[in-house]
């Protein structure tokens, strides 16, 4: 298989797309490379043996992934081109010097200004994560409100720690699970819930507009391993996230 041009299954039924590695590069220099990971591809090898890491190594065999995202989470990922760069970035992660900001869309109106969720998390045998104050590992997330719609809120979340499914579980614990995140009580969004005079098709069942859960790794702030200057990069929304926001701006505003 040519991993430079990889087929990715999306959340839409029977929908597929092809990803070319060069098309998802956000920035590249002699030391680092940043990409905008699409929805539907694992960071590391999954059961289908497909991953962003494999795709990256076909582009440059020296590339090493410095962190990871869930398969259905889109957004910015940082890679190192040398052992020295990887070591520098790893130390920054270990010392919590790297800041990651995610955008999440949730149902309801929520006002968070630096709201801190500090709840320990435990991964179960079924790979589902739960809040567990006695056996869980410490997890901390800072939440800000980015924008209100009529019935939804766009949030900015900064995970201080890096636990599995941390943002998803922490938001659900605050009564605002992510749209489409059915594993943690999130519900899909339908156009019929917002559009007046919506006419359903008699031939097919209405599909959700979100096509998966809406969590996007939006911005990464870190110190460049060579220049030692603090830099910041942001990744455009995935297509399903972008389309959902356009629909909200059209049919779910307070105006």
Query: How far is CA 172 from each of CA 64, 65, 107, 167, 238, rounded to the nearest angstrom?
Result: 32, 28, 11, 8, 22
Distances, alpha carbon 138 to alpha carbons 61, 135, 190, 192, 215, in Å: 35, 10, 36, 40, 21
Helices (H) and strands (E) in the chain, counts: 4, 14
Burial string for 63-73 (b: 16+ CB within 10 Å, else e) reads bbbbbbbbbbb
Instruction: Report the alpha-carbon distance of residue 213 to residue 103 in Å, rounded.
Output: 11
> Residue 20's beta-bridge partner residues?
5
Give the whole-angstrom CA distance, residue 92 versus residue 185: 34
- Helices assigned H by DSSP within 96-197: 166-173
Q: Is 70 a catalytic residue?
A: yes
The kind and range of the H/E element at 221 are strand 215-223
Collapse the DSSP code of 26 into the 3-class scheme (helix H, G, I; strand E, B; otherwise coil) and give the result.
strand
Helix (H, G, I), strand (E, B) or coil at 30: coil
**Exactly one of 30, 48, 62, 70 is catalytic; which is it?**
70
Pairwise CA distance, residues 38 & 23, whole Å: 11
Catalytic residue positions? 70
């Amino acid at each position: 298989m040519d991993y430079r041009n990889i087929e990715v299954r999306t959340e839409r039924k029977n929908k597929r797309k092809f990803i070319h590695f060069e098309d998802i590069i956000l920035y590249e220099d002699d030391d680092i490379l940043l990409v905008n990971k699409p929805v539907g591809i694992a960071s590391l090898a999954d059961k289908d043996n497909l991953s962003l890491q494999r795709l990256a190594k076909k582009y440059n065999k020296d590339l090493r992934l410095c962190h990871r995202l869930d398969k259905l989470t889109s957004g910015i990922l940082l890679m190192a081109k040398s052992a020295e760069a990887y070591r520098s970035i790893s130390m920054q992660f270990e010392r919590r010097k790297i800041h990651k900001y995610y955008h999440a869309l949730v149902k309801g109106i929520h006002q968070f200004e630096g709201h801190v969720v500090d709840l320990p998390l435990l991964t179960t045998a079924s790979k589902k994560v739960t809040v567990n104050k006695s056996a869980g590992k410490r997890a901390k997330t800072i939440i800000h409100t980015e924008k209100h719609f009529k019935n939804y809120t766009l949030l900015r979340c900064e995970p201080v720690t890096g636990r599995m499914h941390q943002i998803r579980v922490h938001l659900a614990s605050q009564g605002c699970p992510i749209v489409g995140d059915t594993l943690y009580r999130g519900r899909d969004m339908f156009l019929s819930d917002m559009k007046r005079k919506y006419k359903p098709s008699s031939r097919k069942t209405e599909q959700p507009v979100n096509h998966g859960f809406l969590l996007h790794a939006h911005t990464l702030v870190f110190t460049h391993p060579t220049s030692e200057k603090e830099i910041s990069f942001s990744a455009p929304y995935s297509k399903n996230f972008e389309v959902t926001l356009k629909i909200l701006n059209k049919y779910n505003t307070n105006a």
